[in-house]
Structure 1
Amino acid sequence: MLLLALDTATPAVTVALHDGTSVIASSSQVDARRHGELLLPAVHRVLAEAGLRLDAVTGIVVGVGPGPYTGLRVGLMTADTFGLALGVPVHGVCTLDGLAYAADVEGPFVVATDARRKEVYWARYADRRTRLSEPAVDRPAEIDEAVAALPAVGAGALLYPDTFADARAPENVSAAALASLAAERLAAGEELEPPRPLYLRRPDAQVPKNYKVVTPK
């Protein structure tokens, strides 16, 4: 097994290779405006670090969000393209699950990432591997009761200390954690998610309500 994992659902552009036992190479850069520019060089970098070619990869793992539309689609389209070109399966993993897996927290906790518009993408976890709720997008003040007194990881938690009083690292997801979680689930015979985006809300760019179609006479 050789998994190529990538995620662009947060400001981090992150890539890793996993050989079924451990992560053998990884790269992470934080730049919310350059996902498309940084992703492919990062893939080349981790392959070079591992001394492998792309055609050695036997599976693709991609973070499916939730995340902003523009960044998220860069990773998903790249994963789909690699899968088609190599003829290998593409596995989706919730980005929040990757953050949870990397958390050093005992007992129940929350993962929250920055959804912009003064909102967070979030979910509750029983432990690093077990999500208790579906990913959601809300204003922090609206979920005070649901997250009260729980440790929280992710950039969203760090942004809103009034709601997430016990905010902790990691801030952004790493492909290394994503790959390790996917490898663990695959080894256990679990079926991973399809590589389809979790947007949770409509994109910013929309057709105006009163838009009129003009047809030539």
Structure 2
Amino acid sequence: MLVLALDTATPVVTAGLVSLADSPRALAVRAHDGRRHGELLMPAVRALCAETGRTLSEVGAVVVGVGPGPFTGLRVGIASAAALGHALGVAVHGVCSHDALALAAAGIDEPGAEHPQGGPGNLLVVTDARRREVYWAAYDPAARRLSGPAVEPPERLADRLGELAIGTVVGDPAFADRLGVAITGPAAPTPAGLAGVAAAALRAGREPEPLEPLYLRRPDAVEPTGRKRVTA
């Protein structure tokens, strides 16, 4: 099966064509760092097709990261994935973007795979939530999620690293000082990681769950409580 994998939950716009023949294998990848999700995503998809000589009509499923992430970036990726799935008549599977990051960091194809290549202890994934906070989730060495995703200041999370038995931290390196630990790559989900999270469901032909973005925050906008006078 040919899978189109998309993610816009981080500042990196990620798109890839992934073969799911045996284990998820990326045929082509586009990753642009620039926060211009709306401008970069669909040109990246077209570039993938040109590079591989494939057409979108060959895509058997779409996998999209649903966060956690900021509202503007997430809605670009999720809306694009939903539109492509509808146009192509294929299923669209939403996956936690941090799950895909954990898979790539652990060096395995699917959650729970044997002989993970990660370091000792559990794995922590952190990404930028803005407002001086991080999105985070904790995983065992086989990339099975143990806790999260959640959002909070990195200083508060730092107090629980021992409790979570964290051995390796991956994601946004900008938070290394505030967490008091080294943060290694990858900083964004990989297409193979996104497809790997959904691989079991794709192979079984399961119906996808509704696409629900993981904002983890209430919206900033609020309904006005009364009318403002416009005359003196």
Shift of 1:8: 0.3
Match of 2:213 in 1: 197
Shift of 1:62: 0.1
Shift of 1:50: 1.3
Cα deviations by residue, 1:93-149 (Å, 9 ceiling, x for unpaired): 100011111114334110010000000000110124300012000011112232247
Q: Do 2:10 and 2:73's aligned partners in 1 also have CA atoms closer than 8 Å?
A: yes
Q: Do 2:26 and 2:191's aligned partners in 1 also have CA atoms closer than 8 Å?
A: no
Aligned length: 211
Structure 1: tracts of 5 or more residues without a match? none
**Stretch deviating more after TM superposition (163-172 or 144-153):** 144-153
Inter-partner Cα distance in structure 1 for 2:82 and 2:196: 20
Q: Secondary structure at the match of 2:177?
A: coil
Match of 2:175 in 1: 159
Match of 1:47 in 2: 49
Q: TM-score, normalised by structure 1?
A: 0.88
Q: Secondary structure at the match of 1:14?
A: strand
Inter-partner Cα distance in structure 2 for 1:128 and 1:38: 33
Q: Do 1:25 and 1:46's aligned partners in 2 also have CA atoms closer than 8 Å?
A: yes
Map 1:117-156; keep pairs closer than 5 Å.
117-148=131-162, 150=166, 151-155=168-172
Inter-partner Cα distance in structure 2 for 1:180 and 1:45: 22
Map 1:31-180; keep pairs closer than 5 Å.
31-32=34-35, 34-104=36-106, 105-106=118-119, 107-148=121-162, 150=166, 151-155=168-172, 158-180=174-196
**Stretch deviating more after TM superposition (127-136 or 175-184):** 175-184
Cα deviations by residue, 1:31-54 (Å, 9 ceiling, x for unpaired): 11x100000000001111111111
Letter in 2 for 1:170: P
1:25 aligns with 2:28: yes
Q: Do 1:8 and 1:74's aligned partners in 2 also have CA atoms closer than 8 Å?
A: yes
Match of 1:14 in 2: 14
1:183 aligns with 2:199: yes
1:165–1:213: structure 2 CA closer, same or farther, 3 Å change rule?
A: same
Shift of 1:190: 7.5
Q: Secondary structure at the match of 1:165?
A: coil
Shift of 1:163: 1.5
Inter-partner Cα distance in structure 2 for 1:127 and 1:72: 27
Inter-partner Cα distance in structure 2 for 1:15 and 1:175: 6
Q: Secondary structure at the match of 1:161?
A: helix
1:192–1:101: structure 2 CA closer, same or farther, 3 Å change rule?
A: farther
Q: Secondary structure at the match of 2:139?
A: strand
Match of 1:207 in 2: 222
Letter in 1 for 2:101: L
Inter-partner Cα distance in structure 1 for 2:183 and 2:209: 28
Q: Do 1:93 and 1:193's aligned partners in 2 also have CA atoms closer than 8 Å?
A: no
Inter-partner Cα distance in structure 2 for 1:81 and 1:191: 17
Shift of 1:18: 1.2
1:56–1:120: structure 2 CA closer, same or farther, 3 Å change rule?
A: same
Cα deviations by residue, 1:2-46 (Å, 9 ceiling, x for unpaired): 1100000000111011121321111101111x1000000000011
Structure 2: tracts of 5 or more residues without a match? 107-117
Q: Do 1:23 and 1:179's aligned partners in 2 also have CA atoms closer than 8 Å?
A: no
